[in-house]
Amino acid sequence: MTGPVPVGVGEKYASEAHTEFVFAMGVWHNSKRERVAFIYLVGLLKVTRAHWKEIFDYESDQLKPECLKCSWSTPLARKALLLAFNLFCNWMPEDYPEDCSPASLFEDKTIGVYLLEAVRIRYGIICGRGW
């Protein structure tokens, strides 16, 4: 499903800075779900917000997966980015695909709820309202 994502569909934010980043990117207005989920995850952590231009080339609409090897890419940032890349275009690292497993991505309770929220955004799942 790639239609526009309405505001207020259960989204959760980690901080005011997270919220501001997502809305500053303008993703809620006629954006595809995969882009909204991607921006949501990139905006999750201070470190990924700070390195936005090293993560994505907005002009060419291309991911920059080499950012996963940068010194600023913390374990939490790596988890958020791996899921963001996967939700955006089904990208997975060739050298360590097991890093994209649910067990690996969701093991950290610090950001797990936000990772799950990105999955909900991407696939249009509205929990608590029936399927």
Average pLDDT of the chain is 86
User: Residue 13 corresponds to which tokens in the numbers above?
Assistant: 């934010």
pLDDT one digit per residue (tens) for the chain, 131 residues: 344 443 444 468 999 999 999 989 876 666 789 999 999 999 999 999 999 999 999 889 899 999 999 999 999 999 999 999 999 999 988 888 788 888 999 988 889 999 999 999 999 876 655 43
Give ∠ CA 85-24-51 in degrees, rounded to 5.
50
- The length of the chain is 131
Report residue 62 as tokens.
């291309």
Q: What backbone torsions phi and psi does residue 121 show, to the nearest 5 degrees?
A: -60, -50
Binning the chain into helix, strand and coil, the percentages to the nearest 5 are 50, 5, 45
Whether the model pTM is above 0.75: yes
Q: Which run of H or E residues covers position 40?
A: helix 33-42
Q: How far apart are CA 104 and CA 58, in angstroms?
A: 28
